[in-house]
Amino acid sequence: MEKVIQFIKYSISGKLIIFNLIIFVFIHFLLQTNPNLAYYLFYNIPGLLSPGIILSNFAHKEIFHILMNLYGLYLLGPIIERISGSRIYIKLIIFSMFFNILGVQFFSSNSTLGFSGILMGFLSFMFFKYKYELGAFKEQLGFILILNILIGLIPGVSLVGHISGAFGGYIYAIILNKLGK
């Protein structure tokens, strides 16, 4: 239990996991009491400027969805945070989220929610930023990246969200590589 407390207390990833869980509970309460408010606050709805544009990145409706995304965050987040530093990690989250928002707003006809766009940013960032340091792991990471883009083809999963989040991570990796960071 002490390791869990330390993880939450000292890592951005731990705090993000808690934030996602709080929103998960809150969105389920709102879906029961005021579904329209839940959609307004927590869904990225194309063409609608609402708090959901930002909060949708941390909102999940189904238990399997949140468990998969939080598992990905738990695995990838601390690695990126450790090797890149907190400032780059936070900027990567913002970059991936920004591209995810733009992608959904301009190229999707469906509302979205979930952390997977940011996770896709994590995957592509690691693949392109640390391409020489990854060694044999690069091939596995590339496979996971492609597999997760293909998961976007499943009905109810946002292909646009996955691709645009991955594009954000790619762009941020390219920028850092050009700056020599």
Look at residue 11 and give its three-state secondary structure.
coil
**Confidence (pLDDT) at 131:** 82
Helices marked H in the chain — which ranges? 2-10, 12-33, 35-42, 52-55, 63-84, 86-107, 116-129, 137-151, 159-179
**Confidence (pLDDT) at 111:** 92
Residue type, 85: G
Residue type, 76: L
Count CB atoms within 10 A of the CB of residue 107: 13
**Confidence (pLDDT) at 9:** 85
How many distinct structural domains can be found in the chain? Answer: 1
**Confidence (pLDDT) at 180:** 84
Q: In which domain, by residue range, is 138 found?
A: 2-179
How far out from the chain centre does Cα 75 lie? 13
d(CA 148, CA 108): 18
CATH at 30: 1.20.1540.10
- List of the chain residues with pLDDT < 50: none
**Confidence (pLDDT) at 169:** 97
Report DSSP letters for 121-141, one per residue. HHHHHHHHHSTTTSTTHHHHH
Are the C-beta atoms of residues 141 and 122 closer than 8 Å to each other?
Answer: no
Condensed to tens digits (0 to 9), the pLDDT of residues 59-104 reads 999 999 999 999 999 999 999 999 999 999 999 999 999 999 999 9
